[in-house]
Each structure stands twice: as C-alpha cells, then as structure tokens.
Structure 1
Amino acid sequence: MPAEQKSGAARALAELSDFSMKIARGQRMLDRVKDEHVQIATADKEIVFREDKTTLYRYKSTAERKVSVPVLVAYGQIGRYTMTDLQEDRSMLRNLLALGVDVYAVDWGSPSRSDRWLKFEDYVDVYLNDCIEFICREHGIEAINLLGICEGGVFSLCYAALNPERVKNLILTITPVDFHQDQAEGRVNHGLLNLWTRGMSDDDVDRLIEASGNLPGELTGYVFSQMTPGATLSKYNVGLLDTFDDEKKLLNFLRMEKWLADRPHHPGEAAKQLLINLYKNNEMIRGEFQLGERTVDLSDISMPVLNVYAKDDHIIPPKTTQALRDAVGTSDYQEIGLEGGHVGVFVSGKSQGVLAKGIVEWLSERDAPSARD
C-alpha cells in the first residue's frame, strides 16, 4: 500500500477511535444523570395565591430591594413559565432577583378537557386580574409592574388596555401584536406559524379543537419543531454528540429538552381566539379584539411601555412586535432588540447579563410606588 494511502487509513482509524471513545464517554455521562440533576425552575419560591388551576408564586429575595414596585411575570399557554428559570446560571427570574426586584410569577397549570370552554377573558379578566389584585392588596399599592412573555404578553396587553390604572409599567418580551407583519423583512424562514394559521379556514380550526377539546401540547410542540426541520433532525445526533465532551453542556441540553417536552394543552376556546381572531383576522392591531363585551384598544395603554424583541425570532418576527410603537397611547415607549432567537433571549449565555439588566435599568428610572386610596 502506498505511503499516502497508509497515512489516510491511519487518520481514518484514529478518527474512528476518537469517535468511539467520545460515544463511550457520553454513554457513561448519560448513565450517571439522574432526574434530580436536570430539575428546572428551582429558584426558591412560595405559593401565595391559588384559583382553580392557576398558581401565583412569590420568589424569595436574594438582594437588597432596588425596585419598590413588584414585577409580575405572565407567560402564555403555549409553553410553561419554567423557561424563565431554566437553571441557576440561565434564569431571567434569578437575574431580576439579584438586581433587587420583588418577583412574582403566574403558573396557569395543566389545562385538561374540563377547561375546554375557557377563553381569553377568563385568563385576563379573572385569573390575571385576581393575581394582580392580590399583589396590590399585599403591598398596599394601586398598580404593579407587569411583564408579559409571548402569549402572556398578549394577555398583558389586553389587561393593560382594559385596566390601565392597575399597571404602573408594562414590559413585553417576544410578544406578537400585528400578526400579519411576519413577512415584512422578507426572511422566508420567519413567520411560518403565521402562514400556517392563515392557511386554515375557521372550520379547520374548529375541527382541530373539537378533536380533543383543546389544542394539544404535543401538536404545538410538533408544529414548532417543523419550523426548523434541519435543527430538529440533527439535535439528537450532531447536537447531542457535541455535549459529550462536557457534562455541563449535556445537562444544559437535557434541561432544555425537559422544558420542550413539558408543553401544556391550550384551552380550546382560548386557542380558537388565538388562531382565528388574532393570527388569522389580526384583530389586535386593528382594534377589533374583544373580551366579552369590551374591545381591547391599544391606544388606551397610557403607562410606560418597554418592548423587548429577538432580532432573529422566526416564531415572533421582530416586525410583528415592533408594530406596537404606533398603536399604544403612551409617549413613554422604548424598544430593546436582543441578539438571538425566540427562546435564546432568555436562556442563552450571552443574554444573561443583558435582558434583566435592561429591564431593571428601565424600571428604576420609572420607580415610585403609588399607594391605594
């Protein structure tokens, strides 16, 4: 065999040996991993209020209070709030606590078929409202700081427009407002969820919900995974393989997978409002979205607004969020565009020193409690 061929064969055998050893190391690491090693949402907290399946948590302070008015974090129904406290070193909630914020978070629980008929108005006018009223009574104040994330940002927009006297400052993160601006930047891989929903008829949505009574969490998880099929197909071989040299990276990977797998069902009627009234008919930005007999008018949002978006968000493209600027009634409006994608702005290493710090600096400039009469 020529020397060149021998050299190539030797390199191939060495690479195969290295690969085999890497697989063996990864298998040993996976064998050592226990469920307690991949726990998420472990920041110290206590239950302070419950209503039906909704739970309100208050987090234990970890630093001297720098912002006097509490912050309530409201996630949506598409995923769980636990993403905001994925692990100790990738946690928006811990970062807020470390910067002196009094933090509450609402957990909507695990909707079942019995919650089929719950609507947006139940979550906004009842559950979110009652959590806010509890916090106001607890602190003897008139209004709180409300921080909404994704669909929770839509809940927060509705609440702030209908109850502006109860929201001192409104912070929105990765929140859709104009659901038809998904193609505004011409990035064909962005806004596929918007395109999918607009491609369905109202009858299609009705049949989708009627099949199980709710919008199944497994279905929404599948839809999101198919928006980036290449990454979905490669993450359990290439992506997982990349973690086999570093146990910390492996645990990071597993915690994210645990959050992705724990996707709740979305109550049926509220899901129909989300898909038909908002995604298809774009009623929020048009001033036509109704909760019961009340119309959500974004121009009634008179409190300061901080709107945070992800520059490379393929689920909630930036333009769908930035449309809020021209819709709100306040002149105190500010945007922060962060590098990364939809979830990355909360859990990536780069975002940890940026997101919470930006929020707290903005709040500190507008911080002064208003006591109840």
Structure 2
Amino acid sequence: MVTWVGRTSGGLPGPRIVQAYIDWLINLSVAPGRQLEILEALIRRSADLVKAALLGSEPTDDRRFRGEGWQKRPYAWLVQAALHRDELARIATEPLPGMDAHNAELVRFYTQQLVDALSPANFALTNPEFVQATIAQRGKNLLRGARFAIGDAVRTITGTDPETAEQFKVGETLATTPGKVVYRNALMELIQYSPSTEDVHAEPILYVPAWIMKYYILDLSPSNSMIRWLVEQGHTVFAISWKNPGKEDSDLSMEDYRTLGVASAMEVIGDIMPERKVHAVGYCVGGTLLMIAAAVMARGGDNRLQSITLFAAQTDFTDAGELRLFIDEMTLYWLEQQMKRNGFLATKQMGGAFAALRAPDLLWQPMLRRYCLGEDNSGFDIMAWNADGTRMPCRMHSDYLRQLYLKNELAQGKYVAGGAAISIGDISAPLYIVGTTADHIAPWESVYKTRNLKKLGETMFCLTKGGHNAGIVSEPGRPRRSFVAGGWDETSAYQSPEVWQASAEPHEGSWWIHWQEWLVGRSSPERTSPPPMGAPDKGHVVLGDAPGTYVFQR
C-alpha cells in the first residue's frame, strides 16, 4: 500500500503532510491569540477589498502581476484578493507555540503551494494576458496549446523522448566537445577531451558531476559549454560520465561512488599524466562527493589535488533550504518502500520534489504559457538536459539522505569513508566555491558554510546571479551577468554570509574568467605539450569517442 501511494503521489510524503496539519490544527485550537489575529486580518482585508472594488487599488510589485492588463478592472481587484489571501495564509501558518518545528515548516510550505496554485495568474479566464492573446490571435493560441497538450500526453503515455529531443541530441547538438573515452568501469566512463591548443597548462582538470543528472550540463551547446571553453583556454579536461543505474545496481553505496568514481578517475589520470597534480571540480552532489574523496586523501597524506572547485555544492546540511522539508525519518521510510520495488529512485519522483520547490516558475506558469498561450517553451538546451535525468540506486540514495541531510555527519566529522571517519578540516588544497543567488536546491548561504569546515589553506568564494543551473552555465559574453568574489585563509576572522556579501568585490560579466584566472594562478607556470589520449601501456586504451555510451542509457 505504501509503495502504491508513493508512486501515485510523485514520491511526496502524503501521510507526513497530514500529520503536520493535524499538529497545526491542534495547536491552533488552543491559541486564542492567533485565532483573533487571523480574524482581525480577515475583517481588515475584507474591508480593503471592498474599498479596492469601489475606488481602485495601488499597483503591486509582485512579479506575477506586473503586466499592464493587471492594473485594470476587474483584474486589479483579483490581484488584491490574491494578495490578501496570501497574507492570511502567511499569518495562519506562522509557527505556533508547542508545535513541532518541522511540522510548522511543512504546513507553511504546502499552504504556500496551495495559494500559489490558486493565483489568478494560473487560470486562463482570470489572466488578462491570456484573454488579450486569445482575442488578438482569434483563438489560434488555443489550437497550438491543444497540439502541445496532446503531443505531451502521448509522449508521457508511450514513454517516448520529450519534444526537446527532436531539436537537441546528445553527440550532435549537445555534448559535442571532441574527446575520447579512455576508461570504463561498472559505474562510470572517464572522458578525456582533445586539446585545441599547441601547448596546455601542466595540471589537468577533473570534472565530477552530480549523479542525479547526466554530466553534460557543462557541455551543452558549443556556445555555452564550459568544458569546450576550458579546452580552448589550454586546459586538459577529464570528465566522469555516470552510469544510469538499474535494478541490478540497487546495492551500490556512496562509498562505491567514491572508489569507482573519483578515486578510479584519479588513478587513471595519474597513469596518463604521471607526476601531475589535478584541479578537481565538483558540481552539486558531485561536489559533496569530491569533498568526501578529498578528505579521505588528506587523511592518508595523498596530495595529488592541486586545487578543488565546488559548483553549488554543500558540505554542511544544517540549513540546506526547502529541500530538507522532504527529508525526515517518515519520508525516508516512504522513499525506501518505493525504491525497493525497482531498486532505484526514478527521475520523475525527484522531479516532483524539485518542481514543488518553485511551483510558480517551474510548474504553473510554464503550463499556462504552453497550453493556453500556445508558446513553445521547450526550445532551450538546458531544458533538454533537465529532461534527461538519471536514476539513483536505493542504498546510495538512502545513505546520502540519512547520513548527510538528516544526520549531517560530514559537517560533524562523523561521516565514515575509506574505513574511518573523515574531516573536511584536514583538506589543505586551495578551494574555490561558487554559489548562486537564486538557488532553491543548494542555497548559497548553505554552500558558504564550507568555510566553517575547511580550516587549512586558502578559500575563494564567488556569488553569481542566477539559479542552481543557470547561474553556473554563465558563459562569457552573456548579457546582464555579474558576481561578487572574496577570499580568506585560516588566519582570517569569520564573517557571516551577509557581512561577506556586503564586503566582497563586485565584478561585471561571467565568473568563468575570474575562476579560470584563479586556476592558472595556482598552476605550474610552464605550459607543456598535450598529453597522449589514454595510456595504452597502462591498459587505458581509447574505448570510443566522446560523449561515450553511458550518457545514452535510459
């Protein structure tokens, strides 16, 4: 029964939500002060609505209602009604004395989801933009929207590729940077990219992607591929491409991802480029895995890392954002019962949680624009990548959520890897951390907490505009881009995220250039001839062209 309900709810913890609302109702029933506050707000806002209906209302800066049509009646009144409802919901769901803190967060979050869903911007007849478009286009937008809806429904039922797959194809328009697969094991392929300069920087770069999605977020179209750009700057780049796990991989653990992933890649690179240290780069949970691997190496006196870079990656999960709402013992049990059936967590289950975090932007508005306004909003390479997820093995995902998110063992020095507990504080390699201002998966204030854990050597923190992905894929030349950056070492006094942000140096343009200059400043001064592709004498022969075979697994 648990498995069936979990599948039909998209993986969200239904019973946990009910439990939270029962807690809220019980505590609200014995809080006359809060009841009176809600009643007063209801009376006051009702009077405001009557006034707005008779005399009109002031424009709002809410970005959902910025269009000119929203300033006219009756839509202006609908805006005021929505804003008043939002305020009432906020007052009603503020934490109550005696209420469990996590339950209070759940009630606040899901109540906000409800009021967001009921916004007049999400309904065709109460959205002036839709009404105006329908009149101007004589209903042609509805015909286009119907075609989109039918096509999307057919693809969902038949399990065929999304519409973006027709325009963006891996190996043809995406992930096209030339390279070779020089190593493959049961969990990953290692890609070595072909040089495009006569000489190269001495130390190579190893990219460790998140295992939640395919690796090519950093090798999208040629115009915004970070990997291609790094190669053009004279860097030798290696990238891990994770296998898409199946039921047979259900028992793979986080330790397997460390040993078969990061550790194996480091060994192969050492065979191809002996006596050369490595600039290691980790993205999202790939960055968390990289820091675990680096801590194991530091504990053993292994100094093969020239530097470490983290893109939107967390090591302290105390304040890991709203994603923590989905993580407690009941929810983990819920997920584990679902995963036992197939041996993995499916991409659609992950997608439900991620979409819920930003439902107005990722769910309601895209649906309205596609199905009501008839706009084709699928023509972006990053959306094609976003639809190309990977599964997560049951054991690994459970361990990751329980040990890192729920128990926060890595930040506490209790996480066990390589047979013993590890500490981020043992890592002394220079560290460059990138956070993004609008990240709903890894909030930059949480990413910043790595400063508290890494006590040795220098660290540079960069805060760039954008979200979890768009802030990272921020190639030089893209307009309206800026960032702030500032560093410290073990002798520096602690600064809170807010104080650091206020004092950090502002920059216009792409942070890629700042980071690449930082890498060069921590590399050997001499450039060398490009290394061979693979190391046949060590058994690392070329197995095929990039992007390899694992990236095509469905």
Establish whether TM, by shorter chain, passes 0.5.
Answer: yes
1:358 aligned partner, one-letter code: H
SS at match of 1:86: coil
**TM (normalized to structure 2)?**
0.57
For the structure 1 residues 13 and 114, does the alpha-carbon distance in structure 2 shift closer, same or farther, using more than 3 Å as the test? Answer: closer
How far apart are residue 359 of structure 1 and its match?
A: 2.1
Q: State the Cα distance separating 1:24 from its structure 2 match.
A: 6.5
The question of whether the paired residues in 2 share the 8 Å contact of 1:73 and 1:105 is answered with yes
Contact 1:71–1:103 (8 Å) recurs in 2: yes
Q: Distance in 2 between matches of 1:293 and 1:228?
A: 39
2:210 and 2:285 in contact (8 A); partners too: yes
Shift in Å, 1:96: 1.6
SS of aligned partner of 2:207: strand
Match of 2:182 among 45, 48, 52: 48
Change (3 A) 1:35 1:367: same
**SS in structure 1 of the partner of residue 306 of structure 2:** strand
TM-aligned CA deviation for residue 345 of structure 1? 1.5
**Aligned counterpart, 2:14:** none
- Say whether residues 1:318 and 2:444 are aligned partners: yes
Which of 319, 325, 336 is the aligned partner of 2:462?
336
1:233 aligns to 2:353 (yes or no) = no
The answer (yes or no) to whether the contact 1:209–1:272 under 8 Å persists in 2 is: no
- Per-residue displacement from partner, 1:37-78 (whole Å, max 9, x unpaired)? 312212222111111241011112234555321101111211
Q: Give the CA deviation at 1:104.
A: 0.9
Match of 1:251 in 2: 379
Gaps of 5+ in 2: 1-130, 152-162, 483-508, 527-554
Alignment partner, residue 365 of structure 1 = 521
Q: Which amino acid aligns with 1:260?
A: N
Match of 2:310 among 165, 172, 186: 172
Residues 185 and 260 in structure 2, CA contact (< 8 A), matched pair in contact too: no
Give the Cα separation in 2 of the matches to 1:196 and 1:250.
28
Answer yes or no: is the 8 Å Cα contact 2:164–2:384 preserved in 1: no
Q: Which sits farther off after the overlay, 119-128 or 191-200?
A: 191-200
One-letter identity of the residue aligned with 1:172: L
- Structure-2 separation of matches of 1:18 and 1:309: 46
1:176 match: secondary structure:
coil
How far 1:15 moved relative to its partner? 4.9
In 2, distance between residues paired with 1:61 and 1:166?
A: 22
SS at match of 1:170: strand
SS for the counterpart of 1:107 is strand
Measured against aligned partners, the alpha-carbon deviations of 1:332-367 in whole angstroms (never above 9, x if no partner) come to 111001111101123354569624322211111110
Look up the match of 1:220.
350
Deviation per residue, 1:138-176 (Å, 9 max, x gap):
011242110000010011001111113121100011001
Partner residue in 2 for 1:356: 512
Tell whether the 8 Å contact from 1:90 to 1:346 is kept in structure 2 after alignment.
Answer: no
Q: Provide the residue aligned with 2:167 in structure 1.
A: 37
3-state DSSP of counterpart to 2:449: helix
1:118-137 → structure 2 map (5 Å cutoff): 118-137=252-271
Which residue number in structure 1 is paired with residue 217 of structure 2?
83
| Pair 1:270 & 2:396 matched | yes
Give the corresponding residue for 2:414: 288
Query: What amino acid is the match of 1:363?
Result: L
Q: Which residue of 2 aligns with 1:57?
A: 191
Does structure 1 conserve the Cα–Cα contact (< 8 Å) formed by 2:145 and 2:370?
A: no
Aligned to 1:330, what secondary structure does the other structure show?
coil
Q: Which runs of 5+ in 1 are unaligned?
A: 1-10, 183-190
Task: Give the whole-Å Cα distance in 1 for the aligned partners of 2:322 and 2:134.
Answer: 43
Q: Which has the higher contact order (CA 8 A, sep 6+)?
A: 1
Alpha-carbon distance in structure 2 between the residues aligned to 1:56 and 1:104: 7
Aligned partner of 1:112 in structure 2 is: 246
Counterpart of 2:339 in structure 1 is 209
**How high is the TM-score relative to the length of structure 1?**
0.83
Change (3 A) 1:19 1:368: farther
For 1:22 and 1:204, locate their aligned partners in 2 and report how far apart those are by CA, in whole Å.
40
Task: Indicate the larger mover: 62-71 or 339-348.
Answer: 62-71
Structure 1 position 217, deviation (Å): 1.7
Share of identical aligned residues, percent?
24
1:48 and 1:56 in contact (8 A); partners too: yes
Amino acid at match of 1:98: E
Q: Report the RMSD for the aligned CA atoms in angstroms.
A: 3.1
CA distance in 1, matches of 2:350, 2:188: 21
Q: 1:145 aligns with which of 265, 270, 279?
A: 279
Decide whether aligned partners of structure 1 residues 242 and 331 sit closer, same or farther in structure 2, where only a CA change above 3 A counts. farther
In structure 2, the CA distance between the partners of 1:96 and 1:237, relative to structure 1 (3 Å rule), is: farther
Task: Give the structure 2 partner of residue 3 of structure 1.
Answer: none
- In the superposition, relative to structure 1, how do residues 61 and 27 fare at CA in structure 2: closer, same or farther (>3 Å)? farther
CA 1:25 to 1:116, structure 2 compared with 1: closer, same or farther past 3 Å? closer
